[in-house]
A and B are shown apart, each in its own frame.
Chain A
Amino acid sequence: MEGADIIEVRDLEHTFNGIKAVRGITFSVRKGEIFSFLGPNGAGKSTTINILTTLLPPQTGMVQVAGYDVAREPDKVRKSIGIVFQDEVLDRDLTVWETMEFHGRLYSIPRGERRQRIADMLRVVELESKRDERTKNLSGGMKRRLEIARGLMTRPEVLFLDEPTSGLDPQTRIRMWDYIRQVNAAGTTIFLTTHYMEEADMLSDRISIIDHGRIVTTGTPDELKSSLGEDVVYLETVDDTKAREVLQGVGDIRSITDSLRGLSITISTDGSHCLPRIVERVRDAGIEISSVNLKKPTMDDVFVHYTGRELRDTGA
């Protein structure tokens, strides 16, 4: 499916002062999907995004965005993408409208069209009433919405969102997710990076995890979570030995082991469907259950599994 990829990266390598930040990564993003790029600090995430958005010229490897090679035709790539940077990129002393106007002019959108799109976009992100407010007077969430509106006003084929919700309160974050889904539903491919695993899980069609300059895994959120293993049920009863006997042979139970308190039962399929049967079986045997708990692997588990637990940001 060559034609359906809107971003294609092959054997990308990048070295800063003799240190390899990116060591030969290959991945592709399909047209219309929300693709997340996860990785600890210093994993090579920013370098890759900077290359994809033409801010950093590629050294070796092939990178195509929206059908154009970033090294050979950076201007065509620039016209096809929108970016919401990780940190706030707003001129504090410009008004909301001026911020949009400046951006539209940078992309040479004709005046009439530009004014129309500014009005439309400000309506979408609910900032119409703040039109003449200087950006320094906006709240964190409003600033982020303005940046998203700005990134979208050029109608990009791909929107890069570099940690779009970091530092936002939970309510605002949920609103942002709605916007991102809306934008995606309207046909824009989204390239997302985030530190919030829950966010990646909720939004992404596919996720790649990068570490030490290499892509360590790629898949849908469900694929990644199930690749980690099975759901686990923690069960505490008045008589664990008897409960274990009773549960032997129940379909979908892979193994039963003793845990700190009670039993830990590994399920080979979806744990939430198996849980009622376990409870039923133990109760039918007349054993009183004092506590039951189902744990599914989360994206956090996936992330830690693939990138390890050591602290990053120490040393280089």
Chain B
Amino acid sequence: MAWKFLTVYWREMIRFVRFRTQLLSSLLQPALWMAFFGVAMSSNFSRFTSDIPIPPGVIAVDYLTFMAAGVIAMTTLFTSLFGGISLLFDKNWGLMREMLASPMPRTHIMLGVSLSGMTKSFIQVAIIMVFGLLLGVEFFPGFSPLRIVVSILGIFVFVAIFSLGFLLFSSNISMRLESPEGLQGIITLLTLPLFFVSNALYPIQAFPELLQALSTYNPLTHLVNGVRYFALGSEFFAVGARYTSTPTDILLSFSYLVVFAAVMYLLARQAFLRAVVT
């Protein structure tokens, strides 16, 4: 049966709601980013960029709204990168053997864990959007109700494919590593460049050329592109820069994330099929 991964998914979700501290921190963390970093930076950026003229006919977006898309992306990135850690715990506590010695196909173990990670990201993204609303984030400016629904779906599709890619990456690493500390090290090493060499918090237009080039290969940039397109429209002005994106740009960003996820799937699959856990 093709739905076997639901077994693993079910157990992962039980754990998610049962580990109260993990649940609480994963829900609070994005809200805290918005509340402190967002509000603090917002007032600064508005001061710096207040004298840059806004081109006529373009919607001006305040910094809090601009960075809310970045916080959605960042939260998805962190949660997904850590998503594979439950596999490491399963390995260390011997629980992995129960699954590997069962007829459950290994790819389904991998998918079950990944889909539960994706669900966690969905929950977090929903919280950020609701909490953002309370803080004054102005997503979907002047959108019709139908367009808002489509936009929310669009954001979730982007979050889904992006988180899948990084969850599979994390699962892959976890299957090859021995200890959670190793994974933590790799995550720490990766998050800084991924996060800062992207358009999550500021425009990349002002980056040095090399960083600009690098940022276009960064999946996070493409996730942020997608989220901003659906949340703010195809044309807006923020942090002193004008943003325009065509549906083709967005489709390219999406394709990039699909390819990224596909490659990660193949690598993770190989790691799972080869894994020997005794």
Q: Check B94 against A106 for contact (C-beta < 8 Å).
A: no
Question: Which A83-104 residues have a C-beta within 8 angstroms of B?
Answer: 83, 85, 87-91, 93-94, 98, 102-103
- B1: A residues at CB distance < 8 A: 108
* A285 in the interface (beta carbon within 8 A): no
- A292: B residues at CB distance < 8 A: none
Q: Check A102 against B101 for contact (C-beta < 8 Å).
A: no
* A54 in the interface (beta carbon within 8 A): yes
Q: Check B278 against A78 for contact (C-beta < 8 Å).
A: no
Q: Check A75 against B103 for contact (C-beta < 8 Å).
A: yes
* A50 in the interface (beta carbon within 8 A): yes
- A57: B residues at CB distance < 8 A: 276
A272 to chain B, nearest CB (A): 44
* A218 in the interface (beta carbon within 8 A): no
Q: Check B14 against A94 for contact (C-beta < 8 Å).
A: yes
* B10 in the interface (beta carbon within 8 A): yes
Q: Check A79 against B98 for contact (C-beta < 8 Å).
A: no
B273 to chain A, nearest CB (A): 11
* A105 in the interface (beta carbon within 8 A): yes
How far, in angstroms, from A146 to B103 measured CA to CA in the complex? 20
- A55: B residues at CB distance < 8 A: 97, 100-101, 276-278
**Contacts known (A56-B278, A108-B1); A94 close to B101, Cβ less than 8 A:** no
* A107 in the interface (beta carbon within 8 A): yes
- B18: A residues at CB distance < 8 A: 93
Q: Which residue of A lies closest to B277 (CB)?
A: A55
Q: Check B276 against A94 for contact (C-beta < 8 Å).
A: no
User: Which of A78, A90, A93 touches B101 (beta carbons < 8 Å)?
Assistant: A78
B63 to chain A, nearest CB (A): 41
* B7 in the interface (beta carbon within 8 A): yes
Q: Check A106 against B100 for contact (C-beta < 8 Å).
A: no
- A204: B residues at CB distance < 8 A: none
Q: Which residue of A lies closest to B1 (CB)?
A: A108
Q: Check A79 against B103 for contact (C-beta < 8 Å).
A: yes
How far, in angstroms, from A93 to B99 measured CA to CA in the complex? 17
Question: Which A80-135 residues have a C-beta within 8 angstroms of B?
Answer: 81, 83, 85, 87-91, 93-94, 98, 102-103, 105-108
- A88: B residues at CB distance < 8 A: 94
**Contacts known (A55-B277, A102-B11); A78 close to B94, Cβ less than 8 A:** no
Interface footprint category on B: 20 to 34
Chain B 86-104: CB-based contact to A (< 8 A → 1; otherwise 0): 0000000111011111111
* B19 in the interface (beta carbon within 8 A): yes
How far, in angstroms, from A87 to B93 measured CA to CA in the complex? 9
User: Which of B11, B100, B102 touches A107 (beta carbons < 8 Å)?
Assistant: B102
- A108: B residues at CB distance < 8 A: 1, 4, 103
- B147: A residues at CB distance < 8 A: none
Q: Check A85 against B97 for contact (C-beta < 8 Å).
A: yes
Q: Check B7 against A102 for contact (C-beta < 8 Å).
A: yes
* A269 in the interface (beta carbon within 8 A): no
User: Which of B10, B11, B19, B97 touches A89 (beta carbons < 8 Å)?
Assistant: B97
- B10: A residues at CB distance < 8 A: 102, 105
Q: Which residue of B lies closest to A87 (CB)?
A: B94
How far, in angstroms, from A85 to B101 measured CA to CA in the complex? 11
Q: Check B11 against A94 for contact (C-beta < 8 Å).
A: yes
Q: Check A93 against B102 for contact (C-beta < 8 Å).
A: no
A133 to chain B, nearest CB (A): 14
Q: Check B276 against A106 for contact (C-beta < 8 Å).
A: no
How far, in angstroms, from A53 to B10 measured CA to CA in the complex? 25
- A98: B residues at CB distance < 8 A: 11, 14
How far, in angstroms, from A50 to B4 measured CA to CA in the complex? 24
Chain B 259-278: CB-based contact to A (< 8 A → 1; otherwise 0): 00000000000000000111
B16 to chain A, nearest CB (A): 10
Q: Check B95 against A106 for contact (C-beta < 8 Å).
A: no
* A26 in the interface (beta carbon within 8 A): no
Q: Which residue of B lies closest to A103 (CB)?
A: B98
* A226 in the interface (beta carbon within 8 A): no
The 6 closest A-B pairs by CB, nearest first: A105-B7, A106-B102, A89-B94, A50-B278, A78-B103, A106-B104
Give 22 pairs: A residue, B residue, CB < 8 Å, sorted on A: A46-B278, A50-B278, A55-B97, A55-B100, A55-B276, A78-B101, A78-B103, A83-B101, A85-B97, A87-B94, A89-B93, A89-B97, A90-B95, A93-B14, A93-B15, A93-B18, A103-B98, A103-B102, A106-B98, A106-B103, A107-B103, A108-B4
List 10 extra interface pairs beyond A89-B93, A89-B98, CB under 8 A: A87-B94, A89-B97, A91-B11, A93-B19, A98-B11, A98-B14, A106-B103, A107-B104, A108-B1, A108-B4
